[in-house]
Amino acid sequence: MAFETREEGTYTVVLVDESRLDASIAESFKVFLFDQIDSGKNKIVVDLSQIRFMDSSGLGALVAGLKKTSGSGLFSLASAQPAVKDLFDLTSMDKLFSLHDSVADAVQGD
Amino acid sequence: MTDSNQLLRLQIDSQLSNTTLVAMAVRGVCAMTTLSPVEINRLELCLVEIVNNAIEHAYGNEAGHPVEICIGLDKNSMNISVSDWGSSIPSDVIDSQEPEEINPDHPEAWLCSGRGLHIVNKLMDDVSYETDEGKNSFIMSKALRY
């Protein structure tokens, strides 16, 4: 399965076990995220460490997750590789998302 | 240094999973140039965005249609065209250059799609779009420095 979850304290860590988060899997990733949120998991960290390439569709799925949790939970990202960080910078999405260097950083203080 | 006027022509079926094929091909051609790793990543992103557009919008995500990609190299630039034979992009969409305004306090305004063309316009040195006898071509180029 391309998407996996594990619990770390009160956080749910979602690992995207793919090298590319692109339009071919963005919709299924969004559905997976929504399923997690709808099942009551409202503190989510998305582990991006495996993703070498992300397009605007992949980014859109993350924005959808962030929107869905806004006001009622936490949604942050961890371990983005350089090309992924560049996409966030290019689109100014770094203003919306909390980007952490590691999952450990993201759940710190829990 | 590359020879001038080299051209690679590729064709894929209109399925999103096929974008990886052309992404890897363009990365291979980029390796022949002086483009930096960051520039190569950005070129790959631009190509994928435009191929995605062709599949999703020109063909409505319907498989079984051709998407043609031409990658040309000359002494000064890398030129990429992505062509389809589906619905053309409306001119107001092509001409829209307004950058997205990001307001962290208004989640309802955050866009979940529609950033692809803005990214390409921002990253490529030149872009154009033309339709000729049912063939729509998005053409983009990146200057090379030697």
Residue for token pair 């960290």? A45
CB contact under 8 A, B115 and A60: yes
Residues B34-50 have pLDDT tens digits of: 999 999 999 999 999 99
Q: Are strands A53-54 and A20-21 parallel, antiparallel or unpaired?
A: parallel
In the prediction, which pLDDT does B65 show? 98
A78 by DSSP, 3-state: which?
strand
- Does B91 have pLDDT greater than 50? yes
CB contact under 8 A, B41 and A67: no
A47: CB partners within 8 A, 6+ apart:
A13, A14, A15, A16, A78, A79, A103
Residues A31-77 have pLDDT tens digits of: 999 999 999 999 999 999 999 999 999 999 999 999 999 888 899 99
Higher pLDDT, B47 or B75: B47
Check: CB of residue A39 under 8 Å from CB of residue A9.
no
Burial class (CB in 10 A: 0-12, 13-18, 19+), A57: buried
In the prediction, which pLDDT does B3 show? 47
Any CB–CB contact under 8 A between B134 and chain A? no
In the prediction, which pLDDT does A57 show? 96
ipTM score of complex? 0.93
